[in-house]
């Protein structure tokens, strides 16, 4: 069996991000959420570069990312009629880990999985916190 190498540079991060979102777009649960918000090839292309910046920043401490993930996820939840749940984050994280495992192995690959676990927890809690209060 051929061994995989670790995530080493921006090109590797871009490969990870584009492979991952290719899977996300096809996913029966997550695909509709992303495809509703990212409605054209041009918007997807910009999003993939932004997410490559995000992960390059997080994995290599190369400051390139400029954005507010909490706000973006809150806006997405609102656009989906506040229907995003913990299960969506579990699915996202499963596809992320599976994608990493299919492409890479090593310290940075494990770091990418760990950072995604922590980030998904924080984003999920934040989304729940910002859902409108219901009166019963």
The DSSP 8-state label assigned to residue 28 in this structure reads T
How many other CB atoms sit within 10 Å of the CB of residue 28? Answer: 7
With cut-offs at 50, 70 and 90, classify the pLDDT of residue 34. very high
Q: What is the DSSP letter of 61?
A: -
**Other CB atoms closer than 10 Å to residue 67's CB: what's the count?**
11
Q: Do the Cβ atoms of 84 and 77 come closer than 8 Å?
A: yes
124 part of a folded domain: yes
Averaged over 30-59, what is the pLDDT? 95
The count of structural domains within the chain is 1
- The verdict on residue 1 lying in a domain is no
4 within some domain: no
Q: Is residue 134 a part of any domain in this protein?
A: no
Domain membership of residue 22 as a residue range: 10-129
pTM confidence score: 0.92
In a domain, 2, yes or no: no
Tell me what pLDDT residue 133 has.
Answer: 83
Please report, for the domain that includes residue 121, its CATH number.
1.10.490.10
Evaluate whether residue 136 is within a structural domain: no
The angle formed by the CA atoms of residues 60, 64 and 69, to the nearest 5 degrees, is: 95
- Per the CB < 8 A criterion, the answer to whether 21 and 48 are in contact is yes
Dump pLDDT digits (tens) for 85-101: 999 999 999 999 999 99
């Amino acid at each position: 069996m051929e061994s995989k190498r670790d995530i080493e540079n921006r090109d590797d991060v871009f490969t990870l991000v584009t492979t991952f979102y290719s899977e996300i777009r096809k996913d029966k649960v997550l695909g509709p959420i992303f495809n509703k918000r990212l409605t054209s090839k041009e918007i997807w292309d910009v999003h993939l570069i932004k997410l490559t910046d995000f992960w390059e920043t997080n994995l290599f401490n190369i400051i390139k990312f400029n954005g507010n993930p909490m706000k973006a996820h809150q806006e997405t939840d609102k656009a989906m009629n506040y229907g995003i749940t913990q299960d969506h984050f579990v699915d996202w994280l499963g596809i992320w880990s599976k994608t990493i495992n299919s492409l890479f192995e090593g310290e940075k690959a494990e770091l990418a999985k760990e950072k995604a676990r922590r980030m998904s927890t924080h984003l999920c809690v934040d989304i729940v916190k910002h859902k409108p209060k219901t009166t019963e």
